[in-house]
Chain A
Amino acid sequence: MTLTRRDVENIALLARLRITDEELPGYVGSLSRILEFVEQLSSAETGEVEPMAHPLEDQVQRLRPDEPTETDHRELYQRNAPAVEAGLYIVPKVIE
């Protein structure tokens, strides 16, 4: 699979990554090579094989009772935020 500049620009937008014009050719090359490399998977016969999402097959996702276990840590958590005002996360204006 050979990707074009357009393809990579589109992937970058989907991934919410700003890729500069200088970086772009490098990614076009390396992402194409990675996709070519993983294409060898198509050689494997997987007709009836179930996809494996979890390494321990008999393990099921544990559920817990729907009861509150956490207390309010907003202030502590917001200490890591780049911009906070009155307990709210600040972002650029979304609605004009």
Chain B
Amino acid sequence: MSLHLKSAAELGRGIRAGEYSSEEVARHFLDRIDQGNDRLNAFVTVTAERALEDARRADAAIKAGEGGALTGVPLAHKDIFCTSKILTTCGSKMLSNFVSPYDATVVERLAAAGTVLLGKTNMDEFAMGSSNETSFYGPVRNPWDENRVPGGSSGGSAAAVAARLAPVATGTDTGGSIRQPAALTGLTGVKPTYGRVSRYGMIAFASSLDQGGVLAQSAEDAALLLEAIAGFDPRDSTSVDAPVPAYATQLDRPVKGLKVGIIREFFGEGLDPATGDAVQAALEVYRSLGAELVELSLPALPLSVPTYYVVAPAECSSNLSRFDGVRFGYRCEDPKDLLDLYTRSRGEGFGAEVKRRIMTGTYVLSAGYYDAYYLKAQKVRNLINADFKRAFTEVDVLLGPTCPTPAFGIGAKVDDPITMYLNDIYTIGANLAGLPALSAPCGLVDGLPVGLQVIGPHFAESRVLAVAHAYQRETDWHRRIPPAWA
């Protein structure tokens, strides 16, 4: 079997068993990137030399009898994670020349686990987008249909793994930016509980929502990677000091007897019928495995998109005020005074969607409007949170669609921000409430992947992963590869 058809877990086992070296694996994926990236635009930076160095170090470690499950396994990082000595652009002209002085904790931990860095992946600018079309580096194409979007904002990571240019990749999720692209490209993407994965060195968009995670080929791979990146970090003041379970060893927990909540609000108007059918079929698999399906209502949940589009822009307008053209990042030519330096550096350095969100945030936080917009949204956020809390007193997990439709065409939604924002209608709730959630592939509609979403209570990553794993033992949707990339 070709190396790119193997999962990250299989590659790790093969390297440890001496079936092939990490260097061979790295060269194989670098070749695929070389041949495929022009078509997909999944990578902003390819780190070929670094990959080979990492791989040789991994091979030496294995030879010395050291190394773990991920030693020698190649991966790609979303270009939102700071990497020392390598460009970190965040998909923006603002940071097109930025080399971080340090590594993000996620980067550091995966390097310590012996992984091999293939490169940095394209993304919506500052993670603001649902289609990867807001990137300064151009749109990423979906390997299942190159005229369609891969989703966003972790669109480069999604396309890279879906096309098997990398066996696994990191991502971040503020309103669905891991789960939505995972759904649209047929991957398993997990966003852990808020505070589970350190945000140190992960460029901030909306600090009360942002959370790092992974895009993988299966729940098993996702569990392995999450285990490596999760855990307390004193350098992130919101990092939670709680032990990290060995996710990969808890995957086989049975779903028999599990109470599964089906959110009525996720199956209403706006859900594409064929997508709904694929999700219903997945629910039947759970029923056949002995799970008890319970329909329930979360009445405040339909307000999650408007809540998000007040809270997230407000936080982004504050976070992105650090880009001033003085200390790092883009600076305009010949500023005539300090105000001109600020306004032109920011006006020229940020793209249209980022500017739109900064202005939305500035407005909702401004004197006279703060109570009506920002405070109101934070109260509604609490109502949504209370809905989830109530649901988890009745059920163990919630299941539903990840997205209302399969991947849409490049350019189809760029003119109307509201239509674009509504793509995240099923994913935003988990961010507002800080819950762990995952998307796993559960079917194809006209040759395009559909995602099943699993949402769990705080810190129930093990359960969420096991629920997805149980499904992946019964079905083979997660093994499907875009025909052009097999």
Contact = CB atoms under 8 A, between A and B. Distances in A.
Interface SS of B by simple majority: helix
Interface string B375-387: 1111111110100
Interface SS of A by simple majority: loop
A76 B382 contact: no
Interface in B184-203: 193-195
A55 B306 contact: no
Contact of B208 (A35, A41, A54, A64): A54
Contacts of A76: 101
Contacts of B195: 55-56, 59
B338 A14 contact: no
A54 B458 CA distance: 13
Interface residues of A, number: 54
Contacts of B330: 82
B309 interface: yes
B325 A56 contact: no
Interface in B336-375: 336-344, 346-348, 350, 352, 355-356, 358-360, 362-364, 366, 372-373, 375
A12 B310 CA distance: 17
A64 to B, nearest CB: 7
B353 to A, nearest CB: 10
B290 interface: no
B343 A52 contact: no
Interface in A1-41: 8, 11-20, 23, 26-27, 30-31, 33-35, 37-41
A17 B343 contact: yes
A15 B434 contact: no
Given A19-B347, A55-B434, A82-B325, A41 B338 contact: no
Given A41-B377, A80-B98, A18 B300 contact: no
Interface of A: 8, 11-20, 23, 26-27, 30-31, 33-35, 37-44, 46, 49-57, 59, 61-62, 64, 73, 76-77, 79-83, 89, 91-94
